[in-house]
Every structure is written in structure tokens, then in C-alpha cells.
Chains A and B, each alone.
Chain A
Amino acid sequence: MEQKIARQLESWDMIIKPKTGWFDIDLTELWNYRDLIGMFVKRDFVTFYKQTILGPLWYIIQPLMTTVVFTIIFGNFAKIPTDDLPPFLFYLSGNVVWGYFANTLRQTSDTFNTNASIFGKVYFPRLTVPAAVSIVNFAQFFIQLVLFIGFYFYYMLQGTPITPTIWILAVPLLLLQMALLTFGIGILLSSMTTKYKDLKFAMGFVIQLWMYATPIVYPLSQVPEKFRTLYVLNPMVSIVESFRYAFLGSGAIQWSYVGISWLVTMFFLFTGIVLFSRIEKTFMDTV
């Protein structure tokens, strides 16, 4: 009898049931929908530059202009030290990394609201949307990284004393951490904005303030020792500073900072996924 019941249960292809469990993310299903992720990525790329004159050039104009402004204001007027690095390269390295973080976060945190009309009509794994956003932004980041490397070699050929360190081999790992962290915080916030729309309005300036809590316009070495422990709890500190240290060979990064940053990254990723999986099944009832 029990066997019979078991066999019957197995013969169903799908069971729709109330939300259960805390960690209810089906990664196989996400993989089965990889074509959809691909379509989302393609859509975002294609629609980005349709009916623009400069097209994909916009991907590099943004960090370039920001860097020029930073160089003038923080470098020339405020004269904030840059660890003896050329200010332009210093700000560009920070902007490229921060640009990825800020853009991805802004887009991911609004996942449920911007896609409510699709989510309300068809089921597909909701994680496909933030995943696609991350991929699109990562591709943008890659273009900007190439831009950075271009300037990097230019400065090197000019004879500027910048030397890459062995940390450069760990850059892929660093970028992975950056992607995971942004994804984690993004989906965490997206789950929360479904209920508290205030967060959507707060996002803009929180990201801006967050930038000043990260060594983008100043180096880590400028942060007083007594605040460092608190300061490095910001996971982006280690990412930006390690990135600079890897390429430019100067900075105040320490292994302990990297360790803390990874712990915080994992925390955000885990809570993000848990909350997202709680929300995704019933968010249509609250949005």
C-alpha cells in the first residue's frame, strides 16, 4: 500500500504547494531556463543603444567623465592624496569597480517592481532576472576594464612608476566576489522593496553615501587606524583596495580585510537568497 502511494507521488511531474523551507531555490530549474537568461541579456544589450548615436560608446563615456570630474575636483582642488599614484588612474580604477556595484545594485533592487507585469502573468524562476542584470552589467564592466587597462599601459609606457603585484593573479577571484556580493545585496533589497517601497527612493542616495564610505575618492591609507576595524566591515573596501593593489601596486590592504569582506559577502548572499526565495512565491499578493 505504501509502495503504491509512493509510486503515485512519483508519477506527478510537478506539485504546486505552499511555500515551505527556508532555502527553497531550485538551481537545476534555473539552469533549465538559461535560454531565458540569455534572452534577457540580449534584450538589455540590444535595447540599450537602439536609437542612440554613440551606441555602445556610452559604456565607456560614463566612467571616463566621472573620472575626469573626480580628478579635477578631488585631485586638483581638494588635493586628496592618492598613495602617490597618478590621480586619473587612481580614480578610474575606483570608478570602474564602483560603477558595476552601483548600477547592478540599483537595477537588481527594483527587480520585482519593474517586472511585476511579467511576473504576474507567467511563471519562470524569478532569479533569472537579477542573474541577467548581473551578466549585462558584468559585460559592461568588462568593457570598462579594458578601457582601464588601456590607460594603465599608456601610463606605464610613459614611465610612471606603477607595478602590478602578484595579487593580479587573484583578480578573477576578486571579480567573482564583487559579482556575488552585488547579487546578494541586490536580491536582498529587491525582496524588501516589494513590501517597503521607501527603499526604492532611499536607494539612490544610499548608494551615493556608500561610495564615500568606500575608498573611491581617497585611499584606504587615509582612514585613521582607530576607525579601520569598523571601516573594513564595508565589503566593498577590500574589493576596491585589492583591485588597486593588484594593478597599481600600492595600498593598505591586509589579508584580514579580505577575510572579513568574504565573510560579509557570504552573509549577504545567503540572506539574500533565503529572503528572495521566501518572497518570490507570494510577492504578487503584496506588490
Chain B
Amino acid sequence: MTTAIKIENLWKEYRLGVIGHGTLTHDLQSWWAKVRGKEDPNAKITPMFAGQEKQIDGDRFWALRDINFEVEQSEILGIIGKNGAGKSTLLKILSRVTAPTRGNINIKGRIASLLEVGTGFHPELTGRENVFMNGAILGMSKQEIKSKLDEIIGFSGVESFVDTPVKRYSSGMYVRLAFAVAAHLEPEILVVDEVLAVGDAEFQKKAIGKMEEVSKDRGRTVLFVSHNMRSIQNLCNRVCIINNGSVMFKGDTDTGIKEYLKITYNRTRYSFKDIKRPLGVGKKVRITDIKIGNTNKDEYNCLPFGSTLIFKIKCTNLSKNMIEGLQLVLGINNLMEERIATLTSPYNFDIKKGETIHIKISTDAILLNPAQYSLSVNITETIRFGGGKSLDKLDKVSIFEITNLVEKQNSKFKDTVIYGTLTLSDFLFSINYNK
């Protein structure tokens, strides 16, 4: 195995406040805001997330702090991390869009990055001309594009329109042509941003399929940045987690995803006081507590497989009036952030002013496979013409875990299912060998 990319002691600094603050207008703007007692629009950035304090040093912000890792040849490495963790900065440096402050990256082979498709497409140029334009921007020579032109146009499926200016294209045709060029780029190392995986399902499949093909069949190295754990799991052999500007984990995909989920859900676990709600909700009615348990214990976030599920939700009317016609929607999500079950209150209920109600949902009907899950709770008010208005909404909170009944029942099975699924609690199963 040879190393394709070697990142050594990479640091990237951004100046806070200084950027764009060199003009008189901004100074006046800050002063005017101060006079009116408003927030200074040019104020320095304060840490958005817990843990970022370490990254701020005076008016400097270290977006990347001492990153070190290596990528082997023909490896598909997933780079994951929360928003603001430094993924995009790393991507920008790898793409040479911006330079690091310290440290260096050594690269073996031709590298191409796809932060978007169709960079440099000009609306007035025809499809064919844009293939050349885009190809040249991505670093292909004219000769190279010429030799692949038919293939590219064939792949895009816009054969009959290649001599039409792309401004007349539908957006679908545009993206397909743009992707076709990108797909035929043949670098030894490909850096792909998740934005590429946005688009319709068919396109996503095609894009991801192409990436897999590039890596598996041709031994190319792929760096894939994404938030979507499902595509990371499908595609990558290894993952690298970036948290607060540093590498937190580097290793196999399953462990990596588990680690990542741990850091993303840690913040929202158990605490209901500080949960950020979308604007305008949680004012009239507020969910103050959620408890998950089974018949044995009241609050127990770790339940054995097959036990009765009991959800207890405490909810207060904070307004000065009685609120009528309320509905509760409880969603169970797996940690891939996919909704796997939704329960709705069978009838509408009211809460008197200042009163706190205790809702209890108890069920044997759903069976969750051993894994971790989160809850989404939504309290809505029925409005006259149908539909509902959300009064309080908590998304992906209260992590709980379903554990295996038998400890080491089937370790192989246990390791692979790390995202939760539903199974049926009541079914008949038979095999007939002698017909």
C-alpha cells in the first residue's frame, strides 16, 4: 500500500472581525448600531458551539488545528464532522482554493476536486463548448476532452441538444451534462463534496455509483465529505472525524459512525431546559420532560429487546388561556436520522392555563431492533381549516438504546446493525420442506 495523500501538521487561521472591516462604511455601521443599542453587525464571532472556545485566540480563529493523517491509495475515505468542524476548510485547502497557514499536504498523483458540478459553465455557450470549458477548468487538456467527448455526451443523455446554448437547457439536463464531464475526469485522487450527492434520487445513485466504480475498478483514491451517514456507510472503507478543527478519529467506517453519533447527540441528551427550538415554538406550550421506560422502571434509557415501550411526556401550558384541540405526534428515529415510526394521539386534548399534563404512551406493537434511537415530539394545535400549527417541537432528543436480550447471541449480527430498524412483534413464520 502506498500513501496517496499525507497531511502533516496542518493549521488554518482565519482573522475574526478584520475581514471586511477595513472600510469606513463598516465602521459607521458599527457606530450606528451602537447608538441605537443594537447588536454590532461587524462584531467578532463568538463561539457557536460548545468546544470551539479553544479555537479562538484573540482575533484569530483556528479553523484547523494540527491535522495529521494519511490516505492510502485506492481508499475511499469519508470525512465527517459537525457543521463548522473544519471539513470545508480542509476541502478548500485540498482543492488549493486557499492556502494553509502552517503545515503541508503531500500528494501523489493528479488530484481533482469536485466541490460542485458545472463550474465555469457559460449560459451562452453550447453544450459541446461547455464540455470543453468545464473540462479545461478541471484541468483536462483539449486533446483529452476531445478523445472523451462522445463518451461524455453519451453519458449525459443530451445528445440531441449538444449544439444548443445551455441557457435553453432544463435544469436536469444542465446537471446531467455537468456531471458527465466530472465523471469522466480521471484523476488518481478525487475529492468530492456532499453537495454533489444533492439532486434527485436517480442522479444521486448515478453519482455515487460512478464514484464507487472509479475507486474499486480503477484503484483511484476518493475523499468524500458528507453529513449523510447512510452514504458514508455505503461508500467508504474508512472515515476520519473532524471535530473543532482537529482529527478526532480515524479508522473503520462502522466505529467511526458510532463515534460521530456520540458527539453529535451528546449535546441533546437528557437536558430539556436548553434545547434550542425553532423560532416561535415553545412559547405557549412547552414540553418539559420526556421519559422512556418499560414496565419495570420509570426512567431507563436502556431497554432490553422486546420489552414494552413506555413514553412519558410532561407538557405545560404557559399561556394565559386554555388551549384546546391539541395533538401529539411522537416520532422514533434511528441515528441515521431516518424516521422509522410515527405515533399520533388518537384524539385531541386540551390544557387549562398554567396546567401541566402527563401524557403516557405505552405499546407492545412495535419492536425496535437493538440499536440506538432518538425521539421527535411535536405538539400541534388544530386550526379551523384543517392542518395544524406547531406549538412545541423537539427534534431528535432523548437518545435511548435497545439492547440484545442475550448478551453475545450473535456477534456478527450485532456488529453490522448499528442503525435501528423496526421489526414486527407478531407474525407467523413457517417453512414447508416436504410439499
Cross-chain contact B100 with A18 (CB below 8 angstroms): yes
Q: Which of A112-142 contact B (CB under 8 A)?
A: 117-124
Q: Is A7 an interface residue (CB 8 A)?
A: no
Q: Which of A1-26 contact B (CB under 8 A)?
A: 11-19
Q: Give CA–CA (A13, B110) in the complex, Å.
A: 8
Cross-chain contact A12 with B108 (CB below 8 angstroms): yes
A residues near B100, Cβ cutoff 8 Å: 16-18
- How many chain B residues sit at the interface, stated as a range, is 35 or more
Q: Which of B1-48 contact A (CB under 8 A)?
A: 6, 14, 19-20, 22-23
Please judge, given known A-B contacts A35-B136, A118-B120, A122-B119, whether A47 and B96 are in contact too, CB under 8 Å.
Answer: no
A124 touches which of B20, B132, B137 (Cβ 8 Å): B137
A residues near B122, Cβ cutoff 8 Å: 43, 47
B residues near A13, Cβ cutoff 8 Å: 107-110
B residues near A12, Cβ cutoff 8 Å: 6, 106-108
Interface 9-residue window, one of B138-146, B257-265, B315-323, B376-384:
B138-146
Cross-chain contact A35 with B142 (CB below 8 angstroms): yes
Q: Is B72 an interface residue (CB 8 A)?
A: no
Give the nearest-CB partner of B111 in chain A.
Answer: A14
Cross-chain contact B136 with A197 (CB below 8 angstroms): no
Cross-chain contact A119 with B136 (CB below 8 angstroms): no
Please judge, given known A-B contacts A120-B97, A122-B113, whether A16 and B107 are in contact too, CB under 8 Å.
Answer: yes
* Binary A-proximity of B90-103 (CB < 8 A = 1, otherwise 0): 00111111111111
Q: Give CA–CA (A213, B98) in the complex, Å.
A: 39
- How many chain A residues sit at the interface, stated as a range, is 35 or more
Q: Give CA–CA (A226, B106) in the complex, Å.
A: 60
A284 touches which of B92, B107, B125 (Cβ 8 Å): B92
Inter-chain contact count A-B, CB under 8 Å?
107
Q: In the complex, how many angstroms separate the beta carbon of B12 from the nearest chain A beta carbon? A: 9
Q: Is A225 an interface residue (CB 8 A)?
A: no
Q: Give CA–CA (A18, B99) in the complex, Å.
A: 5
Give the nearest-CB partner of A195 in chain B.
Answer: B22
Q: In the complex, how many angstroms separate the beta carbon of A118 from the nearest chain B beta carbon? A: 5
B residues near A47, Cβ cutoff 8 Å: 122, 124-125
Give the nearest-CB partner of A286 in chain B.
Answer: B19
Q: Is B133 an interface residue (CB 8 A)?
A: yes
Cross-chain contact A19 with B133 (CB below 8 angstroms): no
Please judge, given known A-B contacts A15-B107, A16-B104, A47-B124, whether A285 and B19 are in contact too, CB under 8 Å.
Answer: yes
Cross-chain contact B106 with A118 (CB below 8 angstroms): no
Please judge, given known A-B contacts A16-B104, A285-B14, A285-B19, whether A121 and B98 are in contact too, CB under 8 Å.
Answer: no
Q: Is A228 an interface residue (CB 8 A)?
A: no
Q: Is B70 an interface residue (CB 8 A)?
A: no
Cross-chain contact B106 with A50 (CB below 8 angstroms): no
Given contacts A196-B22, A286-B20, 7 further A-B contacts (CB under 8 A): A13-B109, A16-B107, A17-B105, A35-B136, A43-B125, A123-B96, A282-B98
A/B interface sample: 23 pairs, CB < 8 A: A12-B106, A13-B108, A15-B104, A15-B106, A15-B107, A16-B94, A16-B100, A16-B106, A16-B107, A18-B104, A35-B136, A38-B136, A39-B133, A39-B136, A39-B137, A123-B96, A123-B113, A196-B22, A198-B23, A282-B98, A284-B92, A285-B98, A286-B19
6 closest cross-chain pairs (CB), A and B: A123-B96, A281-B99, A17-B104, A16-B105, A36-B136, A12-B106
Chain A residues close to B by CB (< 8 Å):
11-19, 33, 35-36, 38-39, 42-43, 46-47, 50-51, 117-124, 195-198, 281-282, 284-286
